Amino acid sequence: MEGITGAELVRAAAFLGAGIAMGFGAIGPGVGEGFAAGKACEGISRNPEQAGLLTRTMLIGQAVSESTGIYSLVIALLLIFVAAK
Amino acid sequence: MTGRRKLLLGLVGVLALEVALALKAKPEIEIGAMPQWRFLLGGHEIVINSRTAVMSWLVMGIWIGAALLVRSRLREVPGRLQATFEFVTEFFDDLISDTLGPGNRAYLPWIGSLFLFLWLSNIIGVVPGLEEPTRDLNVPVGCMLVVLTMVHTSAIRKKGLKKYIKGYLQPFPPMLPLNIIGEMAKGVSLAFRLFGNIMGGAIILLVVSALVRHVLLPVGLNLFFGLFVGTIQAFVFTMLALAYTAVAVSD
């Protein structure tokens, strides 16, 4: 049995880092988008004729709060496909 | 009753055949392969991502063809195709007058074609053999540069150069670098959001399809990641472009 070489350690660390980045990065957007959707539901139930406007505004807000999650996705992709090559 | 049973039996047979074929095939995942054309022009090497270029020209060709088709037979009483196009145009006209205020029809062609291009680009991946051009980071970055140019040009035209530059010194002059970085972050997040969503969806599709050996499950995934996420992201891109324009134009 051979020992672990440095390059293998780097690959392992890159994969582990990708998993950690995606896992922690998904928490914030998940909570934020769920909160926005819940509030939009409340708003629509309170005044249903504004449903179109509320949905549109909710989507914009969700998209903005999603971008941090997308950043961590990009970092994870970089780690998997570039750093672990 | 017996006809229904025959249909069910046939479906089960097809599924079993598919599973048998899938178990025989070797799953293989290939991500990040990017075919390129390279050629020399005046001593510089020029690299073109061939699949992205072909796919985006295909998308543009489809829309140009559809627009010419609709224009060639405009009627007073619209047919089905013309009614669809009129609905889309009216939707974006309303959206622009909601966001920017009435009398801003000049933005309609830009916003409308941005949405149509991105929408078809995002959902074209559900057709087998075709690939989303937005999966390549260059396409979202290109759209983002168009958006930023439009936003800042309309801000300068509306407010005048002096007032525009003054906007960067708010609330006090040392904030200048932060304001410039903030403007750049807008564009970067716009491009990376689209790219990340489409690329992430494509990767999940590839991986899950290879895991279940292309049996049944990828259909639903294609519907979600191809049609739903693609439509939402194209709409979000155009909405954010509009919102940035509205913020830049107002003082």
Interface test with chain A among B31, B190, B194, B236, by most A beta carbons within 10 Å? B236
Q: Is A50 on the interface with B (CB under 8 A)?
A: no
| B19 part of a folded domain | no
Of B114, B106, B107, the closest CA to residue B59 belongs to: B114
Identify the residue whose tokens are 């509320």: A54
Identify the residue whose tokens are 């997040």: B189
| Secondary structure of residue B45 in the 3-state scheme | strand
Q: Report the pLDDT value the prediction gives residue B61, as an integer from 0 to 100.
A: 95
Asked if the model's pLDDT at residue B25 lies above 70, the reply is no
Kindly report the CA angle at B190 between B187 and B194, in degrees rounded to 5?
A: 145
**B195 vs A contacts (CB less than 8 Å):** 74
Would you call A59 and B193 a contact, using CB atoms and an 8 Å cutoff?
no
| B90 part of a folded domain | yes
**A71 vs B contacts (CB less than 8 Å):** 189, 192, 196
Q: Where are the alpha helices (DSSP H) in chain B?
A: 2-24, 50-72, 80-99, 108-123, 138-159, 161-167, 176-211, 217-221, 229-249
Q: What is the percentage of chain A residues whose pLDDT exceeds 90?
A: 44
Q: How far is Cα B147 from Cα B127, in angstroms, rounded to an integer?
A: 28
**B200 vs A contacts (CB less than 8 Å):** 70, 73, 77
Both tokens assigned to B61: 């060709």
Domain residue extents for chain A = 6-83
Q: List A residues 58-77 in contact with B (Cβ-Cβ < 8 A).
A: 59-60, 63-64, 66-67, 70-71, 73-74, 77
Q: What is the percentage of chain A residues whose pLDDT exceeds 70?
A: 99
| B15 part of a folded domain | no
- Mean pLDDT (whole number) for A23-31: 92
Cβ–Cβ pairs < 8 A, chains A and B: 41
Interface test with chain A among B136, B141, B189, B195, by most A beta carbons within 10 Å? B189
In B, minimum Cα distance to A85 occurs at: B32
- Across all residues in chain B, what is the average pLDDT? 87
Question: Angle of helix B229-249 relative to helix A51-78, nearest 10 degrees?
Answer: 100
- The answer to whether the CB of B150 falls within 8 A of the CB of B113 is no
| pLDDT-based confidence at residue B108 (cuts at 50, 70, 90) | very high
Q: How far is Cα A47 from Cα A54, in angstroms, rounded to an integer?
A: 10
- Mean pLDDT (whole number) for B49-55: 88
Would you call A60 and B239 a contact, using CB atoms and an 8 Å cutoff?
yes
Q: Which amino acid is at B47?
A: V
Asked if the model's pLDDT at residue A2 lies above 80, the reply is no
Distance of alpha carbon A8 from its chain centroid, rounded?
28
Q: What CATH class has A6-83?
A: mainly alpha
pLDDT in tens, A38-72: 999 999 999 999 888 898 888 888 888 888 888 89
Give the list of residues 6+ apart from residue B108 with CB closer than 8 angstroms, or none. Answer: B89, B92, B93, B96
**A60 vs B contacts (CB less than 8 Å):** 236, 239-240, 243
Rounded to a whole number of angstroms, the distance from the CA of B18 to the nearest CA of chain A is: 32
Higher pLDDT, B145 or B39: B145
Asked if the model's pLDDT at residue B200 lies above 90, the reply is no
Q: What is the DSSP letter of B41?
A: E
Q: Write the DSSP assignment of B111-172 as a string of letters.
A: HHHHHHHHHHHHHGGGSTT---GGGSTHHHHHHHHHHHHHHHHHHHHHH-HHHHHHHTT-S-
| pLDDT-based confidence at residue B32 (cuts at 50, 70, 90) | low
| B29 part of a folded domain | no
| B167 part of a folded domain | yes
| B47 part of a folded domain | yes
Domain count, chain B: 1
Half-sphere exposure of B62 (CA within 13 A, CB side): 12
Interface test with chain B among A57, A59, A62, A73, by most B beta carbons within 10 Å? A73
Residue numbers of the domain that contains B204: 43-249
Q: How far is Cα A62 from Cα A39, in angstroms, rounded to an integer?
A: 12
| B18 part of a folded domain | no
Q: Report the pLDDT value the prediction gives residue A33, as an integer from 0 to 100.
A: 93
| Preceding peptide of B171 cis, ω within 30° | yes
Give the list of residues 6+ apart from residue A64 with CB closer than 8 angstroms, or none. Answer: B189, B240
